[in-house]
A = this chain, B = another copy of it.
Amino acid sequence: MRTQPLKLALLGCGTVGAEVARRLATHGDELAARAGAPIELVGIAVRDPARRRVAELDPALFTGDAAELAGRPDLDIVVELIGGLEPARTLVLTAMERGSSVVTANKALLAADGPQLYEAAEKHGVDLYFEASVAGAIPLLRPLRESLAGDRIRRVLGIVNGTTNFILTRMDETGADFADALAEATALGYAEADPSADIDGHDAAAKAAILASLAFHTRITVADVYREGITAVSAADVASAQAMGSIVKLLAICELAPNEQSVGVRVHPAMIPRTHPLASVREAYNAVFVEADAAGQLMFYGRGAGGAPTASAVLGDIVAVARHRVAQGRGVGESAYAQLAVRPVGESTTQYYVHLDVTDRAGVLAQVATVFAAHGVSISTVRQDGHGAEAALVIVTHSAAESALAATVAELRSVDVVREVSSVLRVER
């Protein structure tokens, strides 16, 4: 055990930061034993240093000057928990330039500027760890970049946003429509006052970019991610999914194209069979399902958010980074050697569920089927529902390209027997 402590600075002291600071203070001996050296918290940057945040900590540790703290040349580890793009980006880059390893939970920053940050870590020979940025405490990023490093990942399917999973679980359990389920999520504290980051899929898209970068050794940013939220998912869609033995989930999907030359990354609601391991992930839990050549199917399950789980992930990274400092080495960093192209969403293939409100007369199915056939989209199952003004066709296709399906739907809208294309949902297996 090294006796000279490693110096750690904390940027930001909200829920997660306060929990990290508290555990550093109260579990010091245990963390030192695991890290191989004592870890000394030398400063905490907050907006208002006069407001003392953590009872166990010396008020003198708090400073309002984050730039000065992050730039100290004697630091070993900087933990960035401010969030957002600036000043977090500048602080993290400064810290790495001065030789500090960095631990962060900042998914927005990684999803936007990951490539620049990974390069800076490589250039300055420091660690950049960010387990907490995706799926909270679930140890996921380290397996992706280390344990599966000798394997080839084909596909990653993730439920990575707890708010939307809570809403979709409620819709599935109670038959509620989206607005009521959102109201319940807000009342229970699962959704923010402005829920857009969650329900429009922005949060999931940032996590998808991080997952895809690690899984495919390719630098992918959030700008490369196709995104649809869950606001258009109706109670009728959820009921249809149930009738088909399926459930609607907001999925982050990262997949290698069959020719292995490109990667598709998309976030959207999709139906999955109830027998799929992801189907049983309920409430605000997260899970990520991985398909790899040799390893086969894997799933990682746990709490995706919350102060304590996120702090657990940050502390795990702190211990790992600290051990590397003690051993004067680095961990397994990112790699972007594969440099695969990003496949446009139009080229991605999956199955589709299409709900059409139609005129109730003979020959409707033939007309509709002709449109699907004209675009090369093969139909797997059809159900004719209702009568009169309620008449509907519920169609599930075989696998088809997104662009072919889009062209099919566009043409269906101009077919006179189709009153409305009331729903289109992807179906993943």
Contacts and interface: CB of A to CB of B under 8 A. Distances in A.
With a 10 A CB-CB cut-off, give which of A27, A146, A324 has the most chain B CB atoms. Answer: A146
Interface string A1-35: 00000000000000000010001000100110111
Interface stretch (A157-165, A298-306, A352-360, A398-406): A298-306
Interface stretch (A197-205, A265-273, A311-319, A418-426): A311-319
Nearest to A300: B300
B137 A296 contact: yes
Interface string A278-316: 001000000000001111111111110010110111111
Contacts of A297: 302-303
A90 B197 CA distance: 57
Contact of A151 (B152, B316, B328, B332): B316
A36 to B, nearest CB: 8
A300 B139 CA distance: 9
Interface in A122-162: 131, 136-139, 142-143, 146-152
A277 interface: yes
Nearest to A290: B302
Contacts of A217: 33-34
B137 A319 contact: no
Given A217-B33, A309-B294, A149 B316 contact: yes
Given A323-B332, A337-B33, A296 B302 contact: yes
Given A34-B150, A142-B146, A295 B313 contact: yes
B299 A295 contact: no
Interface of A: prevailing SS: mixed
Contacts of A84: none
Contacts of A300: 298-301
A152 B308 CA distance: 12
A320 interface: yes
A332 B35 CA distance: 8
B294 A312 contact: yes
A298 B137 contact: yes
A335 interface: yes
Contacts of A146: 139, 142, 316, 319-320
A70 B90 CA distance: 49
Contacts of A31: 150
A329 B315 CA distance: 21
A286 to B, nearest CB: 10
Contacts of A323: 331-332
Given A150-B314, A316-B146, A330 B329 contact: yes
A327 interface: yes
Contacts of A149: 34-35, 315-316, 319-320
Interface in A28-87: 30-31, 33-35
Contacts of A302: 295-299
Contact of A139 (B148, B319, B320): B148
A136 B152 CA distance: 16
B315 A151 contact: yes
6 contacts: A23-B150, A33-B338, A137-B294, A146-B316, A147-B320, A151-B312
